[in-house]
Amino acid sequence: MASTSGSHFKSSAFDLGKLWYYLTRYIDKFLLIGLLLLMIVGLFTLYSATGGDITRVGKQTLHICVALLVMWLVANVPLQQIMRLALPLYLVGLILLIGVALFGEIHNGARRWLNIGITRIQPSEIMKIAVPLMMAWYFDKNEITLRLKEYVGATLILMLPVLLILRQPDLGTALLIAVSGFYVLFLAGLSWRIIGGLIVTALTCVPILWSFMHDYQQRRVLTMLDPSQDPLGAGYHIIQSSIAIGSGGVVGKGWQKGTQAQLDFLPEQSTDFIFAVFSEEFGLIGNSLLLLLYLLVIGRCMVITANASTQFTRLIAGSITLTFCTYIFVNMGMVSGILPVVGVPLPLISYGGTAMVTMLLGFGILMSIQTHPKLVKT
C-alpha cells in the first residue's frame, strides 16, 4: 500500500515537472524575473498614485496577466512563423490606419481610434511592433544585394505609417515609431555619412516642421523651454512633476506619503507622470534602484541581440531593445522637464493595458529568438 502511494506521488511530481517544462521551455527566465520585478514596482506605485484605489490596481493586474499571456504565446511561436507574420501584420496595420483616417472616432481633437463593432482599437499601437518587424524582414530578404535603393525602400516602409499617424495627429507615437524604424536602418549598416546628412537635413528643416506643427504641439515645446510662462496652464504638468521629484530628496518621503500625489497636485499621476510619484516617495536611492532594474532587463536584451544568428533576428531584437531604452529616456526626460510632454508611458510601470501588451509582445519576440532553434539562411 505504501509502495503504491509512493509511486503515485512520484508519478504526480513527474507530471508536474513535465508540465512546468513545457510551459517554460521557451521563456527566458532571467528576462522574465526582471520584467516581473518592474511590474510589481509598478503595482505598488500605482496603488499609492491612485490613493489606494484597489479597483485600478486590480484592472492593471488583469492587464499584466493578459500581457504575460500574449508574451508566452509569442515566445512559443517559431522564428520562421514570426518572419511570415511580418508582411501581413504590417499590411493589416496600414489598412487600419487608413481606416482611422477615413472613419476614425474623434476624441480631444484627435482621430486615433477605430470602432470595429465589438471594441475600439488604436492601430498606431500595432505599428510599434509591425514597422520594425517588417523592416527587419525586408532587409533579411535583401541581405545579399544590400545597396542604397534597399535603404530607400525601407525608409518608404517606415514613412507610410508615420505620415498617417502624424495626420491623426499623434506626434509622440509617430516619433517613437520613426525612431524604432531608424534603429533598424542603423543596425542594418546605414552609412554614418548618410546618417550625418540626415541629421543636418533634419536640423535645417526645423523651421518648416515648426510651421506644420499644431498650436498645442508648439506650446509643449515652448513650455519645456520655460514652464513659468504659463504656470497654471501648459506649464502646470512640468512644474508640479519637478516639485515632486525635487522634494523626494535622497531617500524619499516614503510609500504613500508624497504630498504632490496624495493631494492631487500632480496631473496624470497614474499614467505618464507616475515616475514623479515614485521619485517623490523613494527619492534618489529608489530612482537608482529602478534604473538598475531597467539596466538588468536592457542588458539581457542586448545579450539576446548579440546571440541572434540571422539578419532578421539581429535587427528586430536590436530595434526592440533600443526602442525600450527610448521609452524610458523619453518618459523620464519628459517628467523631469528636459523634453516636451508627448504622452509616453513609463514602460511596465505606468497604468494602461495597450502599452503593456505591446511592450510584452516585443519581449515575447526576444524570448523566441533566444530559446528557439537558431534560424539558418538557406
pLDDT tens digits for range 173-217: 888 899 999 999 988 888 778 878 878 887 787 777 767 666 766
Q: What is the pLDDT of residue 41?
A: 95
Whether residue 50 lies inside any domain: the answer is yes
For the stretch 325-372, pLDDT in tens is 999 999 999 888 888 777 788 999 998 888 899 899 999 999 999 887
Whether residue 318 lies inside any domain: the answer is yes
Torsion angle of alpha carbons 360, 53, 42, 129, nearest 10°? Answer: 20
Whether residue 378 lies inside any domain: the answer is no
Q: What is the mean pLDDT of the chain?
A: 83
The structural domain count of the chain equals 1
Which residue type is seen at 250? V
- Asked if 27 contacts 371 with a C-beta cutoff of 8 angstroms, the reply is yes
Whether residue 24 lies inside any domain: the answer is no
For the stretch 279-295, pLDDT in tens is 999 999 999 999 999 99
How far apart CA 63 and CA 74 sit, in angstroms, is: 16
Q: Please name the residue that has the C-alpha cell 481606416.
A: 99
Q: What share of the chain has pLDDT > 70, as a percent?
A: 85
Lowest mean pLDDT among 131-145, 154-168, 196-210, 241-255: 196-210
Whether residue 367 lies inside any domain: the answer is yes
Whether residue 5 lies inside any domain: the answer is no
| pLDDT at residue 378 tops 60 | no
For the stretch 238-278, pLDDT in tens is 788 888 888 888 888 888 887 777 767 777 788 888 898 99
Beta strand 105-107 pairing with 110-115: antiparallel
Residue range of the domain that includes 50: 29-371
Whether residue 205 lies inside any domain: the answer is yes
pLDDT grade for 321, boundaries at 50, 70 and 90: very high
pLDDT grade for 1, boundaries at 50, 70 and 90: very low
How far apart CA 197 and CA 194 sit, in angstroms, is: 5
- Count H helices, E strands: the chain? 15, 3
Burial class (CB in 10 A: 0-12, 13-18, 19+), 345: buried
pLDDT grade for 231, boundaries at 50, 70 and 90: low
Q: Which three cell numbers stand for residue 86?
A: 511580418
- Asked if 297 contacts 316 with a C-beta cutoff of 8 angstroms, the reply is no
- As a residue count, the chain comes to 378
Across the range 305-325, mean pLDDT stands at 91
Q: What is the pLDDT of residue 260?
A: 75
Q: Which three cell numbers stand for residue 316?
A: 528586430
pLDDT grade for 172, boundaries at 50, 70 and 90: confident
Whether residue 111 lies inside any domain: the answer is yes
Q: Which three cell numbers stand for residue 64?
A: 499584466
